[in-house]
Amino acid sequence: MTATDLPRLTVRSPADLIAAVPYLLGFHPADSVVVVAMRGRRIVFVARADLPDPGTDPRLPARHLGEVLGRQDAESATVLGYGPAERVTPAVDAVRAVLADAGLTVLDALRVTAGRYWSYLCAAPDCCPPEGTPYDQAASQVSAAAVFAGQVALPDRAALTAQVAPVEGDAREALRRAAARAERRLLALLAEAPPADLLGGRTVRAAGVDAVRTALRTHRRGERLTDDEVAWLSLLLTHLPVRDHAWERTDGREEDISLWGDVLRRAEEELIAAPASLLAFAAWRAGQGALAAVALERALATHPDYSLAQLLDDLLRRGVPPSELDGWPAVGDPGVVRRRPRRRRPRRQIG
């Protein structure tokens, strides 16, 4: 589910909207129900859910979509179902009912599959033939405009998940050796901490602040962290004051998304909670809700009780737009968040 602030894509027909949806989501949907919500003539939110399995109640995902869309101050919506009619039709009907109960005008309801679309609201054979209306996404001006604007539509959600998957093979073996060196380095650092530094907290925080600053500078120069830098940073991020220092300095910049995505893929599995959450926060701030979701799925699969991942997962599931929390977070005590008076607004919010 994604809050959107689109590049200027001109949508004049159902085919144009179908061409735009993959760029709004970040991937081509399949076996999905998608709701494109509008305020006036502007798209303000796009939400996607998996089609219910056969034999399950289609009202459950519909209710959730309705709850999320109810927070978006939308006026109207179009519903699109991707897949076979026997699965799409009950899901689309349930979503239409929920949207109508919420007071949203349903502009159209479409089923999309195999290069054709059908409208549930139009039965005129001259514009909505029973065999469906063909469309060519590759030839669409909307697709061309989205690509020109720098938008990417991956083949499917699995391709998006692959962007946060751990590196394997020889690279992983090298990273494991780097992780062992980082652990020895941390033990030596704690052994050298002054007696007044209880449990070495201040020493670790100082090392972590330095590691975060180095990583941010390195990535903003267009350079990649070394294995030892990734191992050292991911180990120090387990210290909450270090994680919070990194969190305060993370926004929706492409450099932030690139940095935390790289650290997440290269960190040892037991250390991924912080970089995964920081990637999710950066992606959410940039409006890339789908990327934020897959990062949080990976974090919570391994660390289900990690509070920052839980917090961000709740924001995504409730469809909270990033613009509602400009200036957030401001972190005082570790893990305690308060609003900060000023923060740069993200350049774009698309997913």
What would the pLDDT profile of 252-283 be if each residue is shown by its tens digit? 889 999 999 999 999 999 999 999 999 999 99
Say how many C-beta atoms besides its own lie within 10 A of residue 112's C-beta.
25
The residues that bridge with 337 in the sheet, in sequence order, are: 331
| Same domain, yes or no: 11 and 148 | yes
Strands (E), the chain: 2-3, 32-39, 42-50, 76-82, 105-113, 116-119, 133-134, 330-331, 337-338
Q: How far apart are CA 224 and CA 249, in angstroms?
A: 18
In a domain, 350, yes or no: no
In a domain, 286, yes or no: yes
Judging by DSSP bridges, how do beta strands 133-134 and 105-113 pair with one another?
unpaired
| Same domain, yes or no: 304 and 173 | yes
In a domain, 41, yes or no: yes
pLDDT of residue 343: 43
**Weakest mean pLDDT among 85-89, 121-125, 159-163, 200-204:** 121-125
| Same domain, yes or no: 83 and 183 | no
In a domain, 69, yes or no: yes
| Same domain, yes or no: 226 and 316 | yes
3-state secondary structure (DSSP) of residue 139: helix
| Same domain, yes or no: 50 and 186 | no
Q: How far apart are CA 330 and CA 341, in angstroms?
A: 9
Higher-pLDDT residue of 111, 6: 111
Q: How far apart are CA 230 and CA 234, in angstroms?
A: 6
pLDDT of residue 60: 85
pLDDT of residue 350: 31
| Same domain, yes or no: 212 and 68 | no
| Same domain, yes or no: 136 and 95 | yes
In a domain, 293, yes or no: yes
Structurally, how many domains does the chain consist of?
2
| Same domain, yes or no: 107 and 34 | yes
pLDDT of residue 330: 57
Q: Using pLDDT thresholds of 50, 70 and 90, give the confidence band for residue 8.
A: low
pLDDT of residue 148: 67
pLDDT of residue 345: 40
347 has pLDDT over 70: no
| Same domain, yes or no: 141 and 217 | no
Looking at 122, 156, 190, which one is the last position of a domain?
156
187 has pLDDT over 90: yes
342 has pLDDT over 80: no
In a domain, 343, yes or no: no
In a domain, 219, yes or no: yes
Higher-pLDDT residue of 128, 349: 128
Looking at 156, 191, 223, which one is the last position of a domain?
156
Q: How far apart are CA 24 and CA 47, in angstroms?
A: 9
| Same domain, yes or no: 23 and 120 | yes
**Weakest mean pLDDT among 8-12, 83-87, 99-103, 249-253:** 8-12
Q: What is the CATH number of the domain that holds 133?
A: 3.40.140.10
Looking at 156, 188, 209, which one is the last position of a domain?
156
The boundaries of the domain holding residue 112 are 2-156
The residues that bridge with 156 in the sheet, in sequence order, are: none
| Same domain, yes or no: 117 and 235 | no
| Same domain, yes or no: 96 and 48 | yes
In a domain, 349, yes or no: no
